[in-house]
Structure 1
Amino acid sequence: MPQQDKRAAKLTGLALAGMGLAHFARPQVFEPITVAAFPQDTRRHVYTNGSFETAIGLALAGRRTRKLGVAGLVGYLVYLAGNTVRKR
């Protein structure tokens, strides 16, 4: 992987991890988004999603864990999409 791509992957991972941590600092910001997929116990799911995003972002940022991070990201997106469709 070219150096520029490695840097972009690391920055993307760190940005995702930062967004995940923001779920804990300002959960009320994420509640309107989260309620579509998780209408019950929304605040708990905001924290759960923040945990997932933090872990996946850190995995993407690390060279050795990047493939695991990509797999986690795909699984997480399927999980969110499935819940959103199911709750409609």
Structure 2
Amino acid sequence: MAASKRSVRLLSGLLLGAGVAHFARPAQFDAIVPRVLPGRARTWTYASGVAELLFGAALAVPRTRRTGALAAAGLFTAVFPANVQMAYDWRDRPAPLRALALARLPLQVPLALWALRIHRAERPS
């Protein structure tokens, strides 16, 4: 049974939009790259933006959807440390911003599960 077209389009659009944002407004992403990563933050920002664009495009194409969904689940897991970094860095910001940063932490779980559901639904019979 294939994943619903709506679900696939939404997740693909989310990834493509996020990927574009990494190039349109890279400074906001540079700021949350964990400082323990080697190299420049901008390199990690662009690399994750490219990954989001690739995985979003792969999800949009039926032939590559399974692989794209699995890669997206991995990406959602891999970027979790950036959300932890953001929550830590924003600990002294006004309460609404702190709440936003903290709300991003558990968001990665449903995103990864969503991608895995698409991956499983696209399983060849």
Per the normalisation by structure 1, the TM-score is 0.72
Q: What is the alpha-carbon distance in structure 1 between the residues aligned to residue 68 and residue 36 of structure 2?
A: 22
| Number of matched pairs | 83
1:73 aligns with 2:69: no
Per the normalisation by structure 2, the TM-score is 0.54
Gaps of 5+ in 2: 82-125
Q: What is the alpha-carbon distance in structure 2 between the residues aligned to residue 79 and residue 16 of structure 1?
A: 14
Q: What is the alpha-carbon distance in structure 1 between the residues aligned to residue 70 and residue 17 of structure 2?
A: 19
Q: Deviations over 1:24-66 (max 9, x none)?
A: 1110011122235636411111000000011011111222221
1:41 aligns with 2:27: no
Q: What is the alpha-carbon distance in structure 2 between the residues aligned to residue 72 and residue 66 of structure 1?
A: 10
Gaps of 5+ in 1: none
Residue number in structure 2 paired with 1:61: 60
Between Structure 1 and Structure 2, whose CA radius of gyration is higher? 2
Runs of 4+ aligned residues of structure 1 deviating over 6 Å after TM superposition are none
Q: What is the alpha-carbon distance in structure 1 between the residues aligned to residue 8 and residue 29 of structure 2?
A: 24
Equivalent position amino acid for 2:58 in 1? A
Identify which of structures 1 and 2 has the higher relative contact order when contacts are C-alpha pairs closer than 8 Å and 6+ apart: 1
CA contact (8 A) 1:37 1:80 kept: no
CA RMSD of aligned residues (A): 2.8
